[in-house]
Amino acid sequence: MPLHIVIGAGPVGTATALQLATGGARVRLLTRHGSGPEHPGIERIAADATDPAALAAHCAGAIAVYQCAQPPYHRWPQEFPALHRAVLTAVERSGAVLVTVGNLYGYGEFDGPVTEVQALRPNSVKGRVRADMWTEQLAAHQAGRIRTAEVRGSDYLGPQAVSAATTLLLPALLSGRRALVPADLDAPHTWTATDDVAALLIAVAADDTAWGRAWHVPSAPPVSVRALADLLAAVAGVAPARVMRMPAALLWSAGLFVPAAREMRELRYQFDRPFIMDSASATKHFDLDATPLEETLRRTVDAFRGDTAQRGMEPRR
């Protein structure tokens, strides 16, 4: 049975491993501590993905590698390049096709719905990290050293997803508090389901005509933060959402003490105006449709409630 390697057990890595295993594939899931979902088709292994030799040994004999891991958000410039180069070395040695999880940071600020042909013009530190990694990865593909492609989504929704919706909106809604979000509350915004990212990763890996380029994940039609909050409240069965724009000064102050808040400041432009991703190319090429938004929100809410209940912090309903 062909071997598939998934690196990282975050929301996308977990979804990818489970979709592959459920489909009958043999999956090896590599994480720092050997964590990840339990499934008879998933072999969980503790591994240092920044060690090229060790990673190459784990990838030997694999037909595909799905790079879904990332360092802590505030450590991207220091740690992401080494992880990325170790993965490139491992797939070059193993011969497996590499599909990486990217995002929209590399495009920088753009007008109108962004497509995959948009030039990479990052206007942030993390955007430059993403753009540089893809440039290096694509150059290796064009030189014939590896076979690769990248899958890019917008802000995530789904179990374990970390985004403005899951960290700022959802906890406040479920506890009956007002949500503060550093955004234009009425600007349309694309939200991407982690299950749809996984589905596209798998489809791209299996299609040699899809390699050598980036693909945008089929995503539900864009909705504003305010509209998303209303949908979340309805799906969760809680009181109507109370959402307020977070003052810039408050976000700046929070960044003095909270690394995640500090990192949000340079990407605030994504929420200050329409932020729309065009995924028509992937929808047409792979015949993949986005998961309906309400279904994704239901899974997001159920997973969040399950996680908080397990930690003994069930939100007031």
Judge if 72 and 211 occupy the same domain.
yes
Same domain (yes/no): 206, 250: no
161 and 197 assigned to the same domain:
no
Average pLDDT over residues 49-60: 96
Which pLDDT score, from 0 to 100, does residue 256 have?
41
pLDDT at 248: 67
- Check residue 267 and give its pLDDT: 86
Closest CA to 134 of 193, 87, 65, 94: 87
Please check whether residue 315 lies inside any domain of the structure.
Answer: no
Q: How far apart are alpha carbons 199 and 306 in whole angstroms?
A: 24
Which pLDDT band holds residue 309 (cuts at 50, 70, 90)? low
pLDDT of residue 48: 96
pLDDT(81) > 70 = yes
Residue pLDDT, tens place only, 235-289: 999 998 899 998 765 654 654 445 655 666 788 899 999 999 999 999 999 999 9
Cα-based torsion angle of the residue sequence 193, 259, 124, 271 in order, rounded to the nearest 10 degrees: 50
pTM for the structure as a whole: 0.94
At 307 the pLDDT is 76
Q: Is residue 317 part of a domain?
A: no
Tell me, yes or no, whether 39 lies in a domain.
yes
Q: What is the CATH number of the domain that holds 255?
A: 3.90.25
Same domain (yes/no): 229, 210:
no
Q: Which residue, 232, 272, 231, is CA-closest to 251?
A: 272
Q: Is residue 127 part of a domain?
A: yes
Same domain, 170 and 44: no
Is residue 243 within 8 A of residue 178, CB to CB? The reply is yes
Residue 30 shares a structural domain with residue 133: yes
Residues whose CB falls within 8 Å of the CB of residue 232, separated by 6 or more in sequence, listed in order? 165, 169, 170, 173, 241, 297, 300, 301
Span of 14-18, 62-66, 164-168, 257-261 with lowest mean pLDDT? 257-261
DSSP code of residue 89: H
The per-residue pLDDT for 45 is: 98
Paired with 305 in beta bridges are none
- Which structural domain, as residue segments, surrounds residue 48? 3-156+192-216
Q: Is residue 282 part of a domain?
A: no
Does residue 149 register a pLDDT over 70?
Answer: yes
Q: Same domain, yes or no, for 209 and 117?
A: yes
Task: Give the chain's domain count.
Answer: 2
Residue 313 has pLDDT above 70, yes or no: no
pLDDT band at 317 (very low <50, low <70, confident <90, very high): very low
User: Could you give the C-alpha distances from 162 to 12, 61, 75, 77, 304, in angstroms and in order?
Assistant: 11, 33, 16, 19, 11
Of the three residues 182, 216, 250, the one that is the final residue of a domain is 216
Residues 234 and 151 in one domain: no
Kindly state whether residues 203 and 254 are assigned to the same domain: no
In this structure, are residues 196 and 288 in contact, taking their beta carbons and an 8 Å threshold?
yes
pLDDT at 251: 56
Number of C-alpha atoms within 13 angstroms, CB side, residue 260? 7
- CA neighbours closer than 13 Å in the CB half-sphere of residue 213: 14
* pLDDT at res. 315: 46
- List, for residues 128-139, the tens digit of each pLDDT value: 999 999 999 999
Average pLDDT, the chain: 93
Pair 124, 170 in one domain: no
